[in-house]
C-alpha cells in the first residue's frame, strides 16, 4: 500500500513536470537567447568589433566603446546584467539579416536610420547624431572642404564618403581607397595622405586611441547627418518602446554624457546634444 502511494505521487510529479515544460521554460525563449518578456538567461546584442570608441573587441576579449555602453545600459533596463550579454559581431552588410533571422535581440552598431532600412527593420532612437567629416593632422592647413583640391583623401573601399567629397566639394581631390580605416589612419600619420573621411564619431573614436592622442583633429565640416539608431526586428514594437524608454532615462540621468566623454573626449569631439527620440535630422 505504501509503495502504491509513492508511485502515485511520483506519477503526479511527472505530470506536473511535463505540464510546466509545455507551458514555459526554455520553450519561451527567442532564438536570440532571451526570453520574450526580458530578464532571461542571456541576451544577444549586435555590435561592431573593429571601431575604436564605438564598438571594439579588446585583445583580452572584453568590449568597449560608446555603442557598447549604450547597449549595456539598455540591456540593464530590459532586465539583463552585463554578464548576461552575449556580444555578436554584426558587420554592416549583414545587420538586416541578423535581425530578421533572430540572431540578435537588437543592434547598436553605428546604424544610421534611413527610409530604405526602415522598410526592413524597426529602429529605436536615435541615440547619437553624427556627421560626415574630415580627420587631419593637428597642424594641417585644411579648414574647409575646398582645401582638399589637389590633396590626397583616404577612405575605405566601397565607402561613399570620399566620393561624396570629390563629387560635391573638392573635384580635384585625389582619392586613395584602402581596406580599413586603420590603414587610412596610418597613411595620415605618415603623411601619405592629407585627410581621412567618414562619420565624425568614427573618426573621433580612432583619434582617441592612446597611440594617436594629440596628433589629429576633426575639421568640423558636418558634411551629412547620420542618425544612429538601435535596430530591432521588424514588427517588434514592444522592444522598440522599451529601448526608447531606456535611452530617455540614459540621457536624463547623465549616463549618456558620461559615455560620450569617456569614449570620444580625448579626440576633442564636439558632439551634438543627445537627440530626442523619433527626431530624425535630414
**Digit-coded pLDDT (tens) for 96-132:** 999 999 999 999 999 999 999 999 999 999 999 999 9
46 neighbors 90 (Cβ within 8 angstroms): yes
DSSP class per residue in 14-57: HHHHHHHHHHSGGGGB-TTSSBTTS--S-EEEEE-SEETTTEEE
Alpha-carbon distance of 67 to 143, in angstroms, equals: 29
200 neighbors 130 (Cβ within 8 angstroms): yes
Residue 21 CB burial class (10 angstroms; 0-12, 13-18, ≥19): exposed
* pLDDT less than 70: residues of the chain: 1-31, 33-40, 158
| Secondary structure of residue 278 in the 3-state scheme | coil
The arrangement of strands across the sheet holding 63-64 comes to: 50-51, 55-57, 63-64
**Digit-coded pLDDT (tens) for 174-196:** 999 998 888 999 999 999 999 99
230 neighbors 107 (Cβ within 8 angstroms): yes
Domains of the chain are 43-130+227-267 (3.40.190.10), 132-218 (3.40.190.10)
Amino acid at each position: 500500500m505504501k509503495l502504491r502511494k509513492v508511485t502515485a505521487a511520483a506519477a503526479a510529479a511527472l505530470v506536473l513536470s511535463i505540464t510546466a515544460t509545455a507551458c514555459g521554460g526554455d520553450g519561451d525563449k527567442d532564438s536570440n537567447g532571451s526570453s520574450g518578456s526580458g530578464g532571461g538567461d542571456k541576451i544577444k546584442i549586435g555590435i561592431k568589433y573593429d571601431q575604436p570608441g564605438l564598438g571594439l573587441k579588446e585583445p583580452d576579449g572584453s568590449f568597449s566603446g560608446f555603442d557598447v555602453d549604450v547597449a549595456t545600459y539598455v540591456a540593464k533596463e530590459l532586465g539583463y546584467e552585463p554578464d548576461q550579454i552575449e556580444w555578436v559581431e554584426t558587420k554592416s552588410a549583414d545587420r538586416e539579416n541578423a535581425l530578421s533571422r533572430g540572431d540578435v535581440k537588437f543592434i547598436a552598431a553605428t546604424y544610421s536610420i534611413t527610409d530604405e532600412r526602415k522598410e526592413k527593420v524597426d529602429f529605436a532612437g536615435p541615440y547619437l547624431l553624427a556627421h560626415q567629416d574630415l580627420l587631419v593632422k593637428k597642424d594641417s592647413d585644411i579648414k574647409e572642404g575646398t582645401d582638399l583640391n589637389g590633396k590626397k583623401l583616404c577612405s575605405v573601399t566601397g565607402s561613399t564618403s570620399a566620393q561624396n567629397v570629390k563629387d560635391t566639394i573638392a573635384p580635384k581631390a585625389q582619392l586613395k581607397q584602402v581596406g580599413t580605416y586603420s590603414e587610412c589612419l596610418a597613411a595620415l600619420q605618415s603623411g601619405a595622405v592629407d585627410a581621412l573621411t567618414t562619420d565624425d564619431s568614427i573618426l573621433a573614436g580612432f583619434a582617441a586611441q592612446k597611440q594617436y592622442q594629440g596628433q589629429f583633429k576633426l575639421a568640423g565640416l558636418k558634411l551629412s547627418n547620420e542618425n544612429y539608431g538601435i535596430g530591432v526586428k521588424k514588427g517588434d514594437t514592444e522592444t522598440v518602446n522599451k529601448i526608447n524608454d531606456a535611452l530617455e532615462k540614459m540621457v536624463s540621468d547623465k549616463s549618456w554624457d558620461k559615455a560620450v566623454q569617456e569614449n570620444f573626449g580625448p579626440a576633442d569631439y564636439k558632439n551634438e546634444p543627445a537627440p530626442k527620440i523619433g527626431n530624425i535630422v535630414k
